Amino acid sequence: AQKVTQAQTEISVVEKEDVTLDCVYETRDTTYYLFWYKQPPSGELVFLIRRNSFDEQNEISGRYSWNFQKSTSSFNFTITASQVVDSAVYFCALRPWSSASKIIFGSGTRLSIRP
Amino acid sequence: GAVVSQHPSWVICKSGTSVKIECRSLDFQATTMFWYRQFPKQSLMLMATSNEGSKATYEQGVEKDKFLINHASLTLSTLTVTSAHPEDSSFYICSATKRGDNQPQHFGDGTRLSIL
């Protein structure tokens, strides 16, 4: 099976707290890409990161960081010092090499940051 | 960066009407375009893949006669929802990619379709 599981449907935290969004994927491919997208209430998809399966280095971009663990098939996303503007739905996604560029999206995590 | 324009942003129309949504790649040639549908509080589900100059490939469960896709040029794909009904109300998003295995997908801003 090729799928992405985001077990957390909704998360609500108070501003300035750190929050981690979980993502677990399944694929039979040894080569694949993983993504995170943000979807604010306006609806557009905002690209956050793309990581290929051969690059397990963790990445940090400002308040955002990603932890890729092939051993557990996870690609978790952490926001430190959260802000109200971070409120959105976040999608983790998988693009297996054999998929002819098709992207498989997780069900999304709705993140609410309370002031 | 690569830009994909989707038009219209939102549309409201009566049941039975056919609605056309356009997806344009503004600064690159898109050999492949994808159409997704997103129901409220749900994920994006791929409807079909369209390659320039050939027939679209539809995902299982998507009616090809209901959702007509045309990809006549390297910068434009259209999705026509024929004889739309209230259950077709959804958020439709397109994405476009260039030729090549390593090319990213660039998403349009989506079209919110409401059928009364």
Indicate whether B7 pLDDT > 90: yes
Tens-level pLDDT at each residue, chain A (115 residues): 899 999 999 999 999 999 999 999 999 999 999 999 999 999 999 999 999 999 888 889 999 999 999 999 999 999 999 999 999 999 999 999 888 788 999 999 999 999 9
Q: Are residues B43 and A43, on separate chains, in Cβ contact within 8 Å?
A: no
For residue B5 the two structure tokens come to 């324009």
Measure in Å the smallest separation between the Cα of A44 and chain B Cα atoms.
Answer: 4
Average of per-residue pLDDT across B73-101? 92
Q: What percent of chain B has pLDDT over 70?
A: 97
Q: How far is CA B29 from the centre of its chain?
A: 16
B104 vs A contacts (CB less than 8 Å): 47, 50
* φ/ψ (deg, to 5) at B88: -85, -10
pLDDT, residue B101, reads 64
Average pLDDT over chain B, rounded to an integer:
92
For residue B39 the two structure tokens come to 């129901």
A45 vs B contacts (CB less than 8 Å): 44, 93, 107, 110
pLDDT, residue A73, reads 96
Q: Which residues of A touch B (CB under 8 A)?
A: 37, 42-45, 47, 50, 91, 97, 100-108, 110
DSSP, residue by residue, B63-98 = -TTTEEEEEEETTEEEEEETT--GGG-EEEEEEEE-
Q: Which of A43, A47, A106 sits opposite B91 (nearest CB)?
A: A43
Task: Name residue A59's amino acid.
Answer: E
For the stretch B11-15, contacts whose Cβ atoms lie closer than 8 Å and that sit 24 or more positions apart, written own/partner, are B11/B111, B11/B112, B11/B113, B11/B114, B12/B114, B12/B115, B12/B116, B13/B84, B13/B114, B13/B115, B13/B116, B14/B115, B14/B116, B15/B84, B15/B85, B15/B86, B15/B115, B15/B116
Average of per-residue pLDDT across B63-91? 94
Rounded distance between C-alpha atoms, residue B15 and residue A101, angstroms: 34
pLDDT, residue B1, reads 64
Indicate whether B110 pLDDT > 70: yes
Q: Which residues of B touch A (CB under 8 A)?
A: 32, 34, 41-46, 49, 91, 93, 95, 97, 101, 103-105, 107-110, 112
> For B8-56, how does the pLDDT look when each residue is reduced to its tens digit (9 = 90+)?
999 999 999 999 999 999 988 888 999 999 999 899 999 999 988 888 9
Helices (H) and strands (E) in chain B, counts: 0, 11
Which chain A residue's Cα is nearest to B97? A101
Residue A84, Cβ neighbours under 10 Å: how many? Answer: 10
pLDDT, residue B105, reads 86
